[in-house]
Structure 1
């Protein structure tokens, strides 16, 4: 990473006038605000905002986006200082392309401006509420997939404490205000990597509503059923974290300083159900696909892209690799990725009729190998306690129930556990240690309690982890899976990730497995 120089920060700031003069940008903001987006992170700004800008370039309309950050104010403040402009730095080995979407009409911080956020959710002009709050932001129980009523934040939101702390609480309080104002129907559109994200979001909103006092519940429940829709969606674009490298790229190409540029790969995909209660932008002209059945696309992405991506990140981090391209450039990691994708994930899903699986897989490897983008293993590997239960259990159970051991899915879990709760005396390396995970301390305690001194090398420790609900309930019925995870974790400790990948490959091919 390079360091932003004084010369760079002394350049003219990106803004309405400078962007229009030097970058591909809309000359003016949209004519009105029709979308409130919760989660003002990089992914939203490089995905939904870009698709919306393309849609508005084709068919204009009042579809500006009011972006809402949760607690961290940096992006919102920088956007306000830049007339709500920022740049998208689209990078491939062949070229760098910089655009300025210019579709935001405001930027709020929920922790600082809670009433303004609720007013925006309730505003008559708001027709769509979109979300990118990550899997962790839905506060649901990993065991029941229902609202986590044991969460102190959920309980505070149910009491009506201000400000609202959770995404679901914020949405419901905004919908209550909307009902009182007799505003038009509205759509709540999840754009996060969750199986059945539309159905899940709707269910969590209804569960929160059912837990409210009777007077609040009785007026809101029928209105939810008649006036609010929760379509499903699938989103796909690799968007790394912002670094000074990308600020310098904007400075070099545009002669402007942008505090919050967003790097992204050229590829972008968005698939949605067309169930919008009060209209939407012409997203089909912005590259989006509408279908009656999102699930096949969703599972294709969650398993082939996200699931394989996780394995690459864990093996790469354990091998000392900072980035995904460096990781997939290692032959043993590339082969492990091919095996989990083709042998274990692909048989677990129905490929959409308009997708060629070999072409799609080839695209994935090209995307992972994008050395110009440099997606970091620590970023991809973070939050595995939330991500893996969306990716691993169902494919693993399909194979186990058919009498097959999914060795590379077991390797994914072993790699994850060695990264976030390494056995005593084992150093997973700086990139694994830097992975953020909300369950890290809880998992360490579970492992230490189940098998003191042995860590995840013990089948008892892995069983205890699975029984904690990390991957749901089904895998606890297959102790052979826990035993295989423990074996592969032990190989990682003794022979490194390359040795574990070789063990999984040999077992998959039916060849003799190595012994000490």
Structure 2
């Protein structure tokens, strides 16, 4: 019997390039793969540059798996940077503690109230902010938000932030920065608005002190994060064991490309993340538009088309000429016109990088992972570009195809099988959308119920019958003739001379 390699920890495996942090200055909510391959790596660079007081207290939302593995490994793990030419490995030893919020929400509040914490970062995904899908405002009908408002240990991210800031304020707390790293438009302002809304709902003067504290001592800068980080697989664990000679139960893989643009508006000190290449800028909104629409929006189309074609990986999907043509068409003709590019960014160079990243076959990024949570993600990506084209008299055929392919994956109409990769996608709206699909007469009926009645993509698109009708046509094309026919139809229509549609408001 072959002996297992020693577990990664203090006395085995590659050594970090920096000393262990002397203290924790950061509380991070959302201890998933992305944080550990992105913000943690930038923080490791800051520690290497001499900022040794910026250790991270990592908080997983609900899952114990990563927490248990990290605790058993002296809070260390491996980051494998994967490209078609090979892999490189690093160990960002930046975490000073890790625990699960669902098991100890009071500890989240207490840690946030600790004056030694000067920055809170978040990667809780778009649906972790308890916002209403139709309005974007705090969802007061959410039973968890309602429970958090009544009191007790808060279960939601917004409740934990608000209650932690409330306790910090009551103790005359030091200034602190709350830094969202999720794919939300103007994520700093959005986070602040949700926290303020929560505090404003508290009875009497309970939230008044905290609101005054927010005005004087709390900053909510925006940021844009970008790195493709797939789910961890047994193959990755085997690669680490083979190459490094250690057993790592919490490794993460990532592409070579990484970017972090941050609004330099902090209430107190911050890590020198620029040592890892972070950009501090007043153009975060432009970076965000570029990433959320060109990368994320096109990525969604590639994922849904690939899943419907029976393809497991993003690299396999973009390798198909039809999918690549659809991706180039949506990127150039439907997303780029809506983007204000940051200073110094060359559009064609950035576009070339995107296609290289999607084609990274060694990374193994799965269509099911990219397609997950589409009801939340697409709301951040498609409405404004689609509305700009509609108001100019043009139909956004490829954005309509994105929505049609999404609905075909998540809410297939009776008799249509979207395949295993679509069925593997997780979506908070799946149950409701499936109910609507099961009782819809055709694609147009389903599209109308989802977009116009349910307002899945917001109020403005709900008032665009031309777009809704086009989505319905493409749903029917997918289920009757296949996804390839829908791709051909969309590309052909997008190349036709523009016809006036009117604003449809």
Bucket of the pairwise TM-score, normalised by the shorter protein:
over 0.9
Distance in 2 of aligned mates of 1:490 and 1:218 = 53
Question: Deviation digits for residues 401-442 of structure 1, max 9, x if unmatched?
Answer: 111001000000000000000111110000001100000111
Superposed, 1:19-34 pairs within 5 Å as: 19=13, 23-26=14-17, 28-34=19-25
Kindly indicate whether residue 246 of structure 2 is the aligned counterpart of residue 252 of structure 1: no
Match of 2:180 in 1: 190
Distance in 1 of aligned mates of 2:424 and 2:334 = 28
Check whether the contact 2:189–2:222 (CA below 8 A) recurs between aligned residues: yes
CA RMSD after TM alignment: 1.2
Distance in 1 of aligned mates of 2:207 and 2:170 = 13
Question: Deviation digits for residues 184-234 of structure 1, max 9, x if unmatched?
Answer: 110000000111100000000000000011231221111111111000000
3-state DSSP of counterpart to 1:216: coil
Kindly indicate whether residue 126 of structure 2 is the aligned counterpart of residue 132 of structure 1: no
3-state DSSP of counterpart to 1:226: helix
Corresponding pairs, count: 496
Kindly indicate whether residue 73 of structure 2 is the aligned counterpart of residue 82 of structure 1: yes
Check whether the contact 2:383–2:458 (CA below 8 A) recurs between aligned residues: yes
Distance in 2 of aligned mates of 1:422 and 1:464 = 14
- The alpha-carbon deviation at position 24 of structure 1 amounts to 5.0
Kindly indicate whether residue 221 of structure 2 is the aligned counterpart of residue 231 of structure 1: yes
Match of 1:514 in 2: none
Distance in 2 of aligned mates of 1:261 and 1:87 = 5
User: What are structure 2's unaligned runs of at least 5 residues?
Assistant: 498-505
Distance in 2 of aligned mates of 1:352 and 1:220 = 35
Match of 2:97 in 1: 106
Question: Deviation digits for residues 157-179 of structure 1, max 9, x if unmatched?
Answer: 000133x1100001111112212
Kindly indicate whether residue 484 of structure 2 is the aligned counterpart of residue 485 of structure 1: no
Match of 1:52 in 2: 43
**Match among 380, 384, 387 for residue 377 of structure 2:** 387
Match of 1:169 in 2: 159
Check whether the contact 1:336–1:505 (CA below 8 A) recurs between aligned residues: yes
Superposed, 1:108-507 pairs within 5 Å as: 108-162=99-153, 164-449=154-439, 451-452=440-441, 454=442, 457=443, 459-467=444-452, 468-507=454-493
TM-score (norm 1): 0.94
Check whether the contact 2:188–2:220 (CA below 8 A) recurs between aligned residues: yes
Check whether the contact 2:130–2:142 (CA below 8 A) recurs between aligned residues: yes
Match of 2:11 in 1: 17
Check whether the contact 2:18–2:44 (CA below 8 A) recurs between aligned residues: no
Runs of 4+ in 1 over 6 A off after TM superposition: none
Distance in 2 of aligned mates of 1:429 and 1:24 = 44
User: What are structure 1's unaligned runs of at least 5 residues?
Assistant: 1-5, 512-516
Question: Deviation digits for residues 103-125 of structure 1, max 9, x if unmatched?
Answer: 00000111222232222111111
Kindly indicate whether residue 495 of structure 2 is the aligned counterpart of residue 509 of structure 1: yes
Check whether the contact 1:239–1:264 (CA below 8 A) recurs between aligned residues: yes
3-state DSSP of counterpart to 1:96: strand
**Match among 28, 44, 58 for residue 37 of structure 1:** 28
3-state DSSP of counterpart to 1:76: helix
- The alpha-carbon deviation at position 26 of structure 1 amounts to 3.7
Kindly indicate whether residue 52 of structure 2 is the aligned counterpart of residue 61 of structure 1: yes
Distance in 2 of aligned mates of 1:336 and 1:135 = 26
- The alpha-carbon deviation at position 27 of structure 1 amounts to 5.3
- The alpha-carbon deviation at position 7 of structure 1 amounts to 4.3
